[in-house]
Structure 1
Amino acid sequence: MDRIFPMTRAAGLERLAAFLEHGGAEYAGSRNFDLGPEASSTTSALSPYLRRRLITEAEVVAAVVAAFGDEGAKKFVSEVFWRTYFKGHLETHPAASTGYLALAAEGHERLTAESGLLRTYKAAVEWHTGIDCFDAWARELTETGWLHTQGETNGITSVPRPGRKPCSTPNNRPVIRQYTPPPLAPGGMTPSNSQKSSALTATTAPLARR
């Protein structure tokens, strides 16, 4: 899939048309599978355009329903509604975001005082943790600005814990893994996938997800 996202309305409409033609019909069944950076995305990759209001949720939903009908579009529409709901929640509960950013700033301050933590951080952002799937996702994110939503979630949960092996499926790219939600952030909401990836996205283009 082309990971370049020109920020124009025409490009957003082109991306929407490509989704309707090539992946929209299979979205409900395939969206949880990350097929790798060279394959076609199983998500729509419309978030950069929705975020910047180059296209709107209303016209995206209308196009998908027109193409696949109410039932065929149901899962995609629910994801658009979830995105809108969560964005609204953050807007009305700003502490969820500002509190998380404060915690992130504290973490960055610790890097200057804790050499072991700094080594671990550098290994993560430079793709040298030794955990193959994490390193592959980190590299994909920093090189392209893109990461499948499963990569965002699973990259965070791929660090070994007692009684659990690091990801080791074929091609080192597990497509479905159990996700354990993190502790609640200030304000009562769990950090979003984009927030959880902040350490890797600080110098990259915005994430493109659904």
Structure 2
Amino acid sequence: MDADSTEKPLSLRTAQLELERRDARRLEDLKRRLERLIESNPTMREFRKQLLLDITTEGLRIQIIDDKNRPMFALARAELEPHTREILQKLGSALNEMPNKLSLSGHTDSTPYASGEKNYSNWELSADRANASRRELILGGMNEQKIMRVVGLSSAVLFDRNDPTNPVNRRISIIVMSNKAAEAISKEGAETTEVKTNGAVNPETLRSRAG
């Protein structure tokens, strides 16, 4: 193996690491800007203890969590409270300034949905709340093309694992994804498309993947 063949992969990896570092710095900067926004906006400041920001392996996570005495969502419904809509619209405007893609997930506590609607459960409720949040982000100025994924996770990912019925488990999670995380989702979509033939699943492809 000659020197040129080893230098190219190393140079590519160095460039990739530098891009990842820039992306991480951009997300850290966004976190600081959002913290300032929360303090400067009266509604957001009032609910700041229910607005949680942290950096995860996927990117910057913004969680809007419920509280027994200060709900963010109408009880057992996908309807967002007026202050929740205002918060999401402010976030939509701020996040639209970033080039990064977004992922949204809705979460409930473990209390079974019991409003009498047939075939409707916490899975549907969490997905509907996530979509309601998506709409408010867009109303606030978010380009809808920035949103890559919207999912409802019911109580599968608890905030308080020791108390599955704790209201804090009812929340919306917005992740401003790192470029690496966004690429992983794009790749998942490409792989899903690959196993289809004229709209049907190709059994041979599935067998080869399983083997």
- In terms of fraction of residues, the more helix-rich structure is 1
Q: Based on CA coordinates, which of the two structures has the bigger radius of gyration?
A: 2
TM-score by length of 2: 0.26
TM-score by length of 1: 0.26
- In terms of fraction of residues, the more strand-rich structure is 2
